[in-house]
Amino acid sequence: MKSLIGASRFSCPRRRLVLAALNTGLLLPISARSAGRAAPAIVTIAAASDLKFVLEEISSQVLTDAGVEIRLVFGSSGNLSRQIQQGAPFDLFMSADEQLIDQLHQNGHTVNAGVHYATGRLVLIAGPANPGDFAADLPSLISAAPRIAIANPDHAPYGRAGLQALIASGFADGLRHKWVVGDSVMQATQYVLTGAAPFGFSAASLALAPPLKDKLKVRLVPAELYAPLRQRMALTRRSNASAATVMKLLQSPEAARLFLRFGFSLPETQK
Amino acid sequence: MDWVAARVSVMLAFSTALLLFPLALWIGRWLAMGESRSRAIVEAVLLLPLLLPPTVIGFYLLLAFGRQSPVGAALQNWFGLQLVFSFEGLLLASLLINVPFMVQPIHRAFAAIPNSLREAAWVSGLSPWATFRKIELPLAYPGILAGIALTIAHTLGEFGVVLMVGGSIPSQTRTLSIAIYDRVQSFDIAGASHISLVLLACSLTALVVVLLTGARQKRALRDR
């Protein structure tokens, strides 16, 4: 009878290898973490998701002058604003909604009232699930659609603009029963791209950007149907001098050119 | 492949396993071999994280430790410690969630050791500590390994809590699962599938390790 008791279970070479690997793996976090502390200055930007493509372009072309490492976190402006209030370590907040910056400033989370850097444009998009004619007028297009992708109006500025446009077009309840709700305008755009909804409300800066332009049919929503999407940015309380430099660079003529190219309009002071 | 996110994920998984292991070893053995009547209640409480949706745990952690809570504000002001939107906060959440994954297999492993073996060891002159080292641990070894592997694999895949409590801050709280979500949202399907395959491979490896070790133990017991 083979006896289990008394025989050392750890004498098998393969088992020793497994144990050694496990121990090394457990030590790895400690060394990796301390190595990461000697990094250059880092500026973390919380950016509204409609800035996804334009900010990546600006970051690689203009913000390199600041000589810092830029980290971009995209999300719906309302979500990011909430995270800042709860202590998220962002240095600069680029919102797609002015009022969020105002609220943060009143509650003492930002250094000042911020700067109006661009104005966004709402568009209606149609994706691969929708081969039909896109030239009809907006209300009839929307009433014919079985589903409409829209960012959550509760915390996404472009979603709120989409709701305003729907109500102004004569749909009193905003056609809620047809909504496919995205967490941000980027997710709403993605729903149309993947065919979850034939139509959707998106941002011009996303729908007209090079990666998506050829995959979507885009129509500008008339500006009178929604409140202007004045986008504002501000430094947070915890920001450093590098963040201030980055913010200044975002207002430079080169950055302004890129904002224009991606479908934004500029505030009067910058034109 | 997002290597920064991979590093965050791996650090989180191994740190969780490392910190949970001693505690789980002690509690698992006590649940299996102790004689207190409160063991049933303790076991039920420890199983709770399995039943709660991760977003609920994340929500309560946000409430308890966010900057707007008294505890969170105190931690920030006195110790400069932030338990939301930081790696430390993720680690705390991960520790809470993985308790059942580490304790359960260890508990079952120790419970499977017949008392007669321990009594034979005592009668043969081994102290309780020597019995633990030479008899109980080697017999419970597959279960312990299963607990560690399950904890690591589960933490690698954790999403709900990380989203609630971590945000998606590169190099601090953006784990591989969050990176996949971000990639999909950014229309980068190829990147997302790449990372997903890596995670799938890791989970399969963990499972194979656990099953193989268990199989050897069963075969050894069967062939006595």
Distant-in-sequence, close-in-space partners of B189: CB < 8 Å, separation ≥ 6: B183
Contact A28 B187 (CB under 8 A): no
CA–CA separation, A193 vs A129, rounded Å?
Answer: 8
Smallest Cβ–Cβ distance between B15 and the set A5, A29, A44 belongs to: A29
Is the Cβ–Cβ distance between B131 and B118 less than 8 Å?
yes
Is the Cβ–Cβ distance between A105 and A256 less than 8 Å?
no
**B 57-116 near A (Cβ less than 8 A):** 62, 66-68, 72, 76, 82, 84-86
* pLDDT, chain B, mean: 88
Give the pLDDT mean for A66-90: 90
Q: What is the pLDDT of residue B66?
A: 81
CA–CA separation, A162 vs A153, rounded Å?
Answer: 8
Q: What is the pLDDT of residue A121?
A: 95
Smallest Cβ–Cβ distance between B185 and the set A83, A86, A186 belongs to: A186
pLDDT band for position A9 (50/70/90)? Answer: low
The residue type of A158 is Y
Nearest chain B CA: its distance from A142 CA (Å): 24
Q: Flag whether pLDDT at A217 surpasses 70.
A: yes
Structure tokens of B40?
């049933």
pLDDT band for position A12 (50/70/90)? Answer: low
The verdict on B159 touching A (C-beta cutoff 8 Å) is no
- Provide the ipTM: 0.76
Q: What is the pLDDT of residue A6?
A: 44
Nearest chain B CA: its distance from A36 CA (Å): 9
Write down the residue that tokens 């202007």 correspond to: A228
Q: Flag whether pLDDT at A29 surpasses 50.
A: no
CA–CA separation, A208 vs A213, rounded Å?
Answer: 5
Q: Flag whether pLDDT at B35 surpasses 70.
A: yes
CA–CA separation, A183 vs A75, rounded Å?
Answer: 8
Q: For residue range B105-118, what is the model confidence (pLDDT) as tens digits?
A: 999 999 999 999 99
Q: For residue range B123-154, what is the model confidence (pLDDT) as tens digits?
A: 999 998 999 999 999 999 888 988 998 899 89
pLDDT band for position A30 (50/70/90)? Answer: very low
Q: At what angle do helices A253-261 and A52-61 cross, to 10 degrees?
A: 150
Q: What 3-state DSSP class applies to B26? A: helix
pLDDT band for position A102 (50/70/90)? Answer: very high
Percent of chain A whose pLDDT exceeds 70: 83
Q: For residue range B149-175, what is the model confidence (pLDDT) as tens digits?
A: 889 989 998 998 898 888 888 888 899
Q: Flag whether pLDDT at A180 surpasses 60.
A: yes
pLDDT band for position A163 (50/70/90)? Answer: very high
Beta A148-151 vs A229-235: how paired, if at all? unpaired
Q: What is the pLDDT of residue A3?
A: 45
Nearest chain A CA: its distance from B46 CA (Å): 24
Contact B86 A22 (CB under 8 A): no
Spatial CA neighbour of A73 closest among B4, B199, B194: B4
Q: What 3-state DSSP class applies to B18? A: helix
Comparing alpha-carbon positions, the chain B residue that sits nearest to A28 is: B11
Among A94-108, A255-269, B70-84, B178-192, the minimum mean pLDDT is found in: B70-84
End-to-end CA distance of chain B: 48
Chain B CB contacts of A85 below 8 Å: 67-68
